[in-house]
């Protein structure tokens, strides 16, 4: 165990945490902006209530995405100073652009949105949310362009032991980035979609007096603050359907861009592709193992080259070739981790998208009934929605593990190895302290976020203002609603 | 080009210290300015819409250092490993404290958020001054003095900001807090002043004197209840101090490292210049608009 190992663990821990919150921010922001747009266009009350309800969940999560992101901006310099000095000329540019073009937009306009409900004209207020959401998505593009450069460095030359950028446009339009950006952003929409689906499923169950696990029944309590919600038209059905559509469309984009990434891997990172299958030798018509021992002949070749007879390079043969090119070293990543993360990513991701397709079919409105009331969402499906909550999050984290552990032992493919990237002046003890504190701090905060989210989902949306409320309805939290309009978010 | 990017980075740090300076001050003063929950909401309401945007100045400054002077970025952050780590930890607890405060239920949870806000404001406000003090002089005294200077000036700046943005009891207490903070900030500033001559280029003595004069003017203006002008003066003092620090760093951004050695190639600096020149005015414009939207003083009833 040395500083290098701990620095790698620290990067892994802090980035996986960051990557739990950020995809939700990216997707949920667009979802909330969509809801507010629907309210703006139709003027229907339930869109506003959904906007505020999911807006609050969005903000609880947004805070974590921001604070865990600060760590990332500093961590390269703190733990990976050799890497930073080598790549800064190229890699620093998209990071600086991300801060300048994306983070300012996101943070400033989100502040305006949160505090501007009763201070800005409606249209401007809505535009502020869209500006913030565009900022979030733009930041994904820049950081993924930087990340793609590590896997497939382009637009640079090495002078005096440092990478020098020769073409910014090449860096920003790196083929790896162009495949990776839609893949990760769409996957973020699947994560957010899965989150909304679970929340809506839970609210549907709760308002029918059902519990998540079948067998126990709660009568809908008369005192339950959420009861009057049922009088509004199909609020949760609307939000569920919108999320199902978002997830299904995003799922198609994830699959398409994933296919593109797979083909790029064959040219750019053959070792990652080989490790993802555990393929030992160069093989024509390489099979794909659905599980160890269950092989589909030619499927890996089909995935990677759109040709079932194409040759896929194997781990041992790539190792031998790399030794000839780069000198003796171990060029093989952790094969079991890469193998399994690949399968979990595909399996869990496809299950989520399948669930959304099933949900769209179950909640369809038959032609004959158009204009009439649609079928209610089946209780068993609502339960499934809640239980599927972890699937897309696990899938996207697995995708990250596949992508980054499969890249090892390189930080910059073919140019710089991870072992040579670490800060030489930082001691084992220093990394151990920061790793321990970050792990504990992030663990506590993640738990707190979970508690806050669950609490707000259980509490349900705020009730309509008293004058519009059905007779006899009592606002759940009148003091908060009246006294603190601007600080509620 | 190297000089130009050094100035850009100094500008970004200046923006960060001026803007987050009052965020830190407001956070640090939270328990001292408030008698009730309504007071606390009023105090935090002054920075509520803007603190996150202000923090991005730091992210941009650091990102620009990474792109324009990679060796400076990596040397500074790995060299000041634990202090930088503590700054980040502070920013984390402050950020979640500010964001979650309005979303928790019980008094205990609100108190926990407040503790995060206070800790996460005091810690970075002290550490940034300590880091730059140590970077310039390398002595323990300079580290402590630098930290004391940045913390006391941030508290003063924040108190003036609260006095400018509120009404009633909070405003009166903020004015008193500003005067008390001045009792700390002025002697510390006077103690650091003699270290400037002979350290950097000749003009840094001018900016240092400007900073001292602005600080004195700020205190006088607070006394005279001219809060808008007092805020301008404390902002000028912070900007002039930052200019002095970077003026000294210009010859040696890190011990044993020159700017030329640390810099990226001309191509990178040129393309970044074009993008920066196009984008930065827009950023400044929409952040300024935010302050315009929330220009009204907060009263206890509304917030």
Q: Residue A370: its pLDDT value, please? A: 55
Identify the bridge partners of residue A283 per DSSP, sorted by sequence position: A312
The model's pLDDT over A296-319, given as tens digits with 9 standing for 90+, comes to: 888 888 888 888 888 888 888 888
DSSP assignment of A427-464: -HHHHHHHHHHHHHHHHHHHHHHHHHHHHHHHH-SPPP
Whether the link from the prior residue into B35 is cis, omega within 30° of 0, is: no
Residue A222 has pLDDT above 80, yes or no: no
> Do residues B185 and B194 lie in contact, with contact meaning Cβ atoms separated by under 8 Å?
no
User: What is the model's pLDDT at position A227?
Assistant: 46
Instruction: For residues A78 and A80, give the distance between their C-alpha atoms in angstroms, rounded to a whole number.
Output: 6
Tell me the two tokens of residue B24.
């830190």
Q: Do B88 and A423 touch (CB under 8 A)?
A: no
CA distance B107 to B274: 50
Q: Is pLDDT above 70 for A212?
A: yes
* Binary contact (B275, A100; C-beta < 8 A): yes
pLDDT, one tens digit per residue, over A427-443 is 888 888 888 998 899 98
Q: What pLDDT score does A480 carry?
A: 37
- At residue A218, the pLDDT reads 55
Which pLDDT does position A464 carry in this prediction?
56
Is there a contact between A78 and B85 if contact means CB atoms under 8 Å apart? yes
pLDDT above 80 for A467: no
pLDDT tens readout for residues B206-225: 888 888 888 888 888 888 88
Residue B168 has pLDDT above 50, yes or no: yes
Q: What angle do CA A64, A65, A69 make, to 5 degrees?
A: 115
Residue A141 binned pLDDT confidence (cut-offs 50, 70, 90): very high
pLDDT for A368 equals 59
Beta bridge partners of A311: A284
The residues with which A162 forms a beta bridge, in sequence order, are A159
To probe the interface with A, which of B19, B97, B165, B268 has the most A CB atoms within 10 Å? B268
Provide the whole-model pTM: 0.84
Nearest CA distance, B161 vs chain A (angstrom): 18
Residues in a beta bridge with A296? A288
pLDDT > 70: percent of chain A: 88
Q: Which stretch of A251-255, A372-376, A442-446, B54-58 has the lowest confidence by average pLDDT?
A: A372-376
Asked if A130 and B68 count as a contact pair (C-beta separation under 8 A), the reply is: no
Reported as a single tens digit per residue, the pLDDT across B287-299 is 888 888 888 888 7
Residues of B whose CB is below 8 A from A105: 286
**How many CB pairs below 8 Å do chains A and B form together?**
229
**Does the structure show a pLDDT above 70 at A374?**
no
What per-residue confidence (pLDDT) applies to B127? 94
pLDDT given for residue A473 in this prediction: 39
Instruction: Identify from A111, A128, A458 which residue to disrupt to test chain B contact, counting B C-beta atoms within 10 A and taking the largest count.
Output: A111
Flag whether pLDDT at A182 surpasses 90: yes
Structure confidence at residue B303 as a pLDDT band (50, 70, 90): very low
All structural domains of chain B with their residue ranges: 2-249+287-293
- ipTM for the predicted complex comes to 0.83
Q: What pLDDT, on a 0 to 100 scale, did the predictor assign at position B16?
A: 94
Closest partner CB to B81 (pick from A78, A104, A165): A78
The answer to whether B63 contacts A95, with C-beta atoms less than 8 Å apart, is yes
Nearest to A108 among B53, B73, B82 (CB): B53
CATH code, B2-249+287-293: 1.20.1630.10
Intra-chain end-to-end CA distance of chain B, in Å: 47
**pLDDT tens, A23-77?**
999 999 999 999 999 998 988 888 888 998 999 999 989 988 888 888 888 988 8
Q: Are A356 and A349 in contact (CB under 8 A)?
A: no
């Amino acid at each position: 165990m040395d500083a290098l190992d701990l620095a790698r663990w620290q990067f892994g821990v802090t980035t996986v945490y960051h990557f739990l919150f950020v995809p939700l921010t990216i997707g949920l922001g667009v979802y909330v902006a969509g809801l507010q747009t629907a309210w703006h266009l139709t003027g229907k009350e339930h869109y506003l209530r959904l906007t505020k309800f999911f807006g609050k969940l969005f903000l609880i999560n947004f805070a974590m995405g921001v604070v865990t992101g600060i760590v990332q901006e500093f961590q390269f310099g703190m733990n990976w100073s050799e890497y930073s000095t080598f790549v800064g000329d190229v890699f620093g540019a998209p990071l600086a652009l991300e801060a300048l073009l994306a983070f300012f937009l996101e943070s400033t306009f989100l502040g305006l949105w949160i505090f501007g409900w009763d201070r800005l004209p409606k249209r401007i207020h809505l535009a502020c949310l869209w500006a913030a959401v565009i900022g979030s998505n733009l930041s994904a593009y820049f950081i993924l362009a930087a990340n793609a450069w590590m896997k497939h460095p382009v637009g640079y030359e090495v002078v005096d032991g440092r990478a020098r950028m020769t073409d910014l446009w090449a860096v920003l339009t790196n083929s790896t980035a162009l495949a990776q950006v839609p893949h990760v952003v769409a996957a973020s929409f699947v994560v957010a979609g899965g989150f909304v689906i679970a929340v809506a499923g839970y609210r549907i169950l709760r308002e029918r007096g059902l519990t998540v696990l079948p067998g126990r029944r709660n009568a809908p309590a008369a005192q339950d603050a959420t009861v009057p919600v049922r009088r509004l038209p199909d609020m949760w059905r609307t939000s569920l359907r919108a999320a199902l559509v978002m997830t299904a469309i995003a799922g198609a984009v994830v699959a398409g861009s994933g296919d593109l990434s797979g083909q790029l891997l064959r040219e750019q990172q053959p070792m990652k592709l080989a490790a993802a299958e555990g393929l030992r030798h160069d093989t024509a018509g390489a099979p794909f193992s659905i599980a160890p021992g269950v092989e589909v002949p030619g499927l890996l070749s089909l995935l990677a080259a759109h040709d079932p007879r194409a040759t896929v390079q194997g781990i041992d043969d790539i190792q031998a070739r790399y030794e000839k090119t780069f000198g003796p070293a171990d060029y093989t990543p952790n094969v079991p981790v890469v193998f399994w993360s690949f399968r979990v990513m595909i399996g869990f991701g496809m299950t989520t998208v399948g669930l959304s397709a099933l949900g769209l079919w179950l909640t369809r409105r038959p032609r004959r009934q158009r204009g009439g009331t649609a079928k209610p969402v089946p209780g068993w499906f609502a339960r499934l929605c809640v239980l599927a909550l972890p699937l897309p999050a696990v899938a996207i984290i697995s995708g990250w593990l596949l992508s980054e552990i499969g890249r090892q032992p390189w930080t910059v493919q073919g140019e710089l190895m991870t072992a040579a990237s670490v800060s030489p002046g930082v001691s084992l003890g220093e990394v151990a302290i920061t790793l321990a504190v970050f792990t504990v701090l992030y663990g506590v905060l993640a738990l707190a976020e979970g508690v806050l989210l669950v609490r707000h989902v259980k509490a349900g949306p705020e009730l309509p203002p008293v004058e519009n409320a059905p007779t006899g309805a009592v606002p759940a939290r009148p003091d908060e609603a009246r006294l603190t309009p601007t600080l509620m978010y | 080009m190297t000089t130009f990017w050094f100035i850009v980075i100094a500008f970004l740090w200046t923006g960060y210290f001026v803007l987050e300076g009052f965020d830190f001050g407001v956070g640090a003063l939270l328990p001292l300015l408030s008698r009730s929950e309504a007071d606390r909401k009023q105090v935090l309401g002054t920075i509520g819409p803007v603190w996150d945007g202000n923090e991005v100045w730091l992210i941009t400054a650091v990102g620009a250092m990474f792109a324009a002077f990679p060796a400076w970025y990596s040397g500074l952050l790995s060299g000041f490993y634990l202090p930088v780590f503590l700054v980040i930890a502070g920013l984390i607890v402050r950020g979640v404290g500010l964001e979650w405060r309005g979303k928790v239920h019980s008094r205990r949870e609100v108190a926990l958020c407040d503790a995060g806000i206070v800790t996460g404001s005091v810690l970075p406000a002290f550490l940034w001054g300590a880091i730059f003090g140590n970077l310039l002089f390398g002595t323990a005294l300079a580290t402590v003095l630098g930290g004391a200077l940045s913390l006391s000036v941030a508290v003063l700046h924040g108190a003036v900001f609260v006095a400018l943005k509120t009404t009633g009891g909070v405003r009166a207490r903020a004015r008193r807090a500003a005067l008390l903070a001045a009792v700390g900030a002025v002697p510390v500033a006077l103690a650091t002043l003699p270290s400037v001559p002979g350290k950097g280029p000749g003009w840094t003595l001018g900016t240092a004197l400007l900073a001292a004069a602005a600080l004195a003017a700020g205190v006088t203006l607070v006394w005279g209840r001219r809060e808008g002008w007092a805020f301008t003066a404390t902002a000028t003092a912070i900007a002039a101090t930052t200019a002095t620090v970077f003026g000294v760093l210009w010859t040696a951004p890190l011990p044993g490292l020159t700017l030329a050695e640390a810099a990226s190639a001309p191509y990178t600096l040129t393309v970044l210049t074009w993008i920066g020149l196009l984008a930065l005015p827009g950023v400044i414009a929409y952040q300024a608009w935010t302050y315009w939207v929330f220009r009204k003083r907060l009263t206890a009833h509304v917030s």
